């Protein structure tokens, strides 16, 4: 499983918006790796921020 797939899996199972630290803890990845994936997902508009500093999958 790639880092991207791990982050997306956490978002798919989440019931509320998450921050990078929480995603790192739940996925077991390093926070720096999660930050890189977040940057990529933001550019592709896969994740959106409904609340400041928290993210969720775009619906």
Condensed to tens digits (0 to 9), the pLDDT of residues 16-25 reads: 999 999 999 9
Cβ atoms 39, 2 nearer than 8 A = no
- Binned at pLDDT 50, 70 and 90, residue 59 comes out as confident
Which domain, by its residues, includes 46?
3-57
Is the pLDDT score of 34 beyond 90?
yes
Place 1 in a pLDDT band, splitting at 50, 70 and 90: confident
* Crossing angle (nearest 10°) for helices 3-13 and 31-43: 80
CATH of the domain at 24: 1.10.10.10
Q: Look at the chain and report how many structural domains it folds into.
A: 1
- Tens of pLDDT along 4-20? 999 999 999 999 999 99
Q: Name the pTM for this structure.
A: 0.91
Structure confidence at residue 28 (pLDDT): 96
Which residues are CB-contacts of 2 (< 8 A; sequence separation ≥ 6)?
Answer: none
């Amino acid at each position: 499983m790639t880092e991207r797939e791990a982050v997306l899996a956490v978002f798919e199972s989440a019931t509320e918006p998450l921050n990078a630290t929480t995603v790192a803890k739940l996925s077991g990845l390093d926070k720096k790796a999660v930050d890189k994936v977040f940057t990529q997902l933001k550019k592709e508009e896969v994740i959106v921020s409904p609340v400041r500093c928290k993210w969720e999958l775009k619906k």
